[in-house]
Amino acid sequence: MLSRRCGVLGDPIAHSLSPTLHRTAYAELGLDWAYDAHRVPAGGLEEFVSGLGPQWRGLSLTMPLKREALALVDRSTDRARLAGAVNTVVLEDDGTRVGDNTDLPGAAAAIRERTSAPLATAVVLGGGATATSTGLALAELGVGSVELLVRDASRAAETVAALRSHPAGIDVRTGSLDAPDALVADIVVSTVPAGAQTSALVERCAAVPVVFEAVYDPWPTPLAASASGRTLVGGLDLLVHQAALQVELFTGRPVAVELLRDAGERALAARNPG
């Protein structure tokens, strides 16, 4: 029987919890599959994929490869095309590459796991591929107005276009990460690194009742640490929900989200003892 291989690709990649989550899932399913992390810089995805053998079944993609991957698949799902980004590639036995985006449904599920509150307005910090998928997830949950806070509006053009293309016809605006005004919204989503979360930016978010921090390591980020008393959706929540969807796409079998969360929490605790 052909032994299967899967992996996560990106740059940087050493921090990724995906190997822990997928290996846990495969063990639970009784599958002797391999899953490893591979450092692949921007522009290197095509070379990596072209060298894969028939034992390869699936790829998880992280920054900076999600948008690059869209042009390299033979077929893509509606949600991948809507996001303009692929974070999951299923390698069929006939060589067909199928691109999907599990970040979008994963983000929606992560939010709804933590809150059932109605969401109409949102602020998203950052304008990259993760901002796109989470913004689209918010639109799926009923958000009709999204403000993207960025340092360079031109770099968020793809995200703005993707959000405006959502069938719900949401209102999308851009603003500055460095502006001084307090933010007013039902939810704030951060897709920026912890190091970019200045005290001034964190203070701007203080009145927003739901905080979604897409980063899971380091944890807590300044924004997450400030969310005491408010609803907090963490990066691990997003990671485990999208990973469970990936596992099912790769193997054809479901796995419990809680199993993956427990594995992720143990791995993070081992990285950051005390």
Q: So which residues are the catalytic ones?
A: 66
Task: At 71, list the tokens.
Answer: 């042009």
Strand partners, 100: 88
Secondary structure (DSSP) of 8-50: EEESS-TT--HHHHHHHHHHHTT---EEEEEE--TT-HHHHHH
Strand partners, 124: 148, 189
Q: Residues 22, 35: contact at Cβ < 8 Å? A: yes
Output the CA–CA distances (angstroms, integers) from residue 66 to 25, 43, 85, 89, in the order listed: 23, 11, 5, 10
Give the whole-angstrom CA distance, residue 37 versus residue 15.
9
Burial zone of 16 (CB within 10 Å; 0-12 exposed, 13-18 middle, 19+ buried): buried
Count other C-beta atoms under 10 Å from residue 249's C-beta: 17
Give how far the C-alpha of residue 31 lies from the chain's centroid of Cα atoms, to the nearest Å: 25
Rounded to 5°, the CA angle 170-85-159 comes to: 35
Output the CA–CA distances (angstroms, integers) from residue 240 to 100, 193, 260, in the order listed: 16, 19, 6
